[in-house]
């Protein structure tokens, strides 16, 4: 890649800061930008360790100052609330388990950042994501691939980014391991070289998503906890407090563990049972989109399907899409498949597309 102006999305963490340092070292004219997505003033996020907090903006700014390139902040708090927070609350209220990081990448992050890049005279945007983009044909869209470091791979979170946008995106860390990135950060004396990775949802810095949903009007109906035969085994204070596969807070069955099997938001019932009852081989995936840029031509589609972050992708057949989405037939049963989570289709390391697990 020839030297050019590149905008780097900087979260304040070590990954995006190292991506900026690598691009500058390669001779590029780097411009840093941080998206302000939430107002974390007065929360734990303001002390650091959480994406998008005030401390994180300062860490990004400090990295830019050290390396000697300009840094800007884009306030997207209103758009983030509409596209991500409101969706998060509504999904919990409906008895589903959302993935806000996927929604953020899909609906918010890349569009404003690419528009900013073009406004400052840059064609490309770089981020600190662990993923790869490969051009197999100059006339076609790039392929989105898993990262070299499979433990840090973030391609699962990126399937919803519109394929044309990826044509102007760069992932400098896709071929590197996390240990290598930490070492490079220390080599460049970056101020956040030892900063811990963010572990919580950025707009729920204390990790209590149940309280967050309640505070934002998304509490589900209280009701009965019932077994598979319909017998009541307890009560609960709201369906938003549960997710499929959950064990904590579920009454035991003569000392044996029970797990959440289904959440029926309309009636307030939470159905529980043994772990074996969580096994499923057939599911529906709605709102399907194709990261590859086009709908596959051969059906049924043979691929591997990843049903949650850090889960292994399972070999499966995917049926041709109709108005309600695609059917997925897994070779082996999966446990704890939660409606509302992303299901991502892979051909080896390549992301083909994906959608959202239907109830």
Q: Measuring CA to CA, which residue among 60, 68, 1 is closest to residue 30?
A: 68
Whether 303 is a known active-site residue: answer: no
3-class secondary structure, 67:
helix
Q: Do residues 54 and 42 make contact, with C-beta atoms less than 8 angstroms apart?
A: no
* Alpha-carbon gap, residue 257 to 252, rounded angstroms: 5
* Alpha-carbon gap, residue 210 to 257, rounded angstroms: 22
Rounded CA Rg of the chain:
22
DSSP 34-94: EEE-S--TTSGGGGSSSTTSHHHHHHHHHHHHHHT--EEEEE-HHHHIIIIIHHHHHHHHT
* Alpha-carbon gap, residue 81 to 268, rounded angstroms: 27
3-class secondary structure, 133:
strand
Q: Measuring CA to CA, which residue among 28, 46, 27 is closest to residue 36?
A: 46
Cβ neighbours around 169 below 10 Å, total: 22
Whether 326 is a known active-site residue: answer: no
Catalytic residue among 101, 104, 303, 326: 104
- The CA–CA distances, whole Å, from 124 to 118, 232, 245, 351 equal 8, 57, 41, 21
Q: What is the dihedral angle through the alpha carbons of 27, 29, 35, 36, rounded to the nearest 10 degrees?
A: 110
314's CB contacts (< 8 A; 6+ apart) are 304, 305, 306, 307, 330, 331, 332, 334
* Alpha-carbon gap, residue 241 to 93, rounded angstroms: 10
Q: Measuring CA to CA, which residue among 290, 320, 308, 4 is closest to residue 144?
A: 290
Structure tokens belonging to residue 180: 């290598």
Q: Measuring CA to CA, which residue among 129, 127, 124 is closest to residue 156?
A: 129
Active site residues: 104, 202
């Amino acid at each position: 890649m020839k030297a050019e102006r590149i905008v780097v999305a900087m979260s304040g963490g070590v990954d995006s800061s190292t991506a900026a340092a690598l691009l500058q070292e390669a001779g590029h004219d780097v411009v840093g930008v941080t998206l302000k997505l939430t107002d974390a003033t007065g929360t734990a996020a303001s002390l650091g360790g959480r994406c998008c907090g005030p401390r994180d903006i300062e860490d990004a700014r400090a990295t830019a100052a050290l390396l000697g390139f300009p840094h800007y902040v884009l306030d997207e708090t209103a758009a983030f609330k509409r596209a991500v927070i409101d969706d998060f609350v509504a999904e919990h209220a409906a008895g589903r388990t959302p993935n806000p990081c996927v929604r953020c990448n899909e609906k918010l992050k890349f569009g404003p950042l690419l528009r900013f890049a073009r406004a400052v005279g840059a064609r490309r945007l770089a981020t600190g994501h662990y993923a790869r983009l490969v051009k197999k044909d100059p006339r076609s869209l790039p392929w989105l691939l898993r990262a070299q470091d499979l433990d840090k791979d973030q391609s699962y979170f990126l399937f919803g980014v519109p394929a044309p946008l990826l044509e102007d995106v760069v992932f400098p860390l896709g071929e590197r391991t996390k240990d290598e990135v930490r070492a490079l950060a220390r080599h460049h004396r970056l101020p956040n070289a030892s900063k811990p990775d963010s572990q919580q949802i950025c707009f729920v810095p204390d990790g209590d998503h149940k309280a967050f949903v309640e505070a934002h009007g998304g509490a589900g109906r209280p009701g009965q906890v019932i077994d598979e035969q319909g017998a009541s085994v307890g009560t609960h204070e709201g369906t938003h407090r549960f997710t499929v596969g959950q064990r904590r807070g579920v009454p035991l069955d003569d000392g044996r563990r029970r797990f959440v099997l289904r959440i029926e938001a309309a009636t307030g019932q939470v159905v529980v049972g043994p772990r074996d009852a969580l096994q499923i081989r057939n599911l529906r995936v709605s709102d399907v989109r194709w990261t590859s840029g086009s709908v596959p031509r051969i059906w049924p589609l043979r691929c591997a399907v990843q049903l949650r972050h850090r889960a292994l992708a399972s070999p499966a057949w995917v049926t041709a899409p109709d108005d309600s989405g695609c059917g997925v037939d897994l070779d082996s049963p999966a446990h704890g498949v939660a409606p509302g989570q992303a299901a991502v289709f892979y051909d080896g390391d390549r992301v083909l597309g994906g959608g959202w697990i239907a109830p």
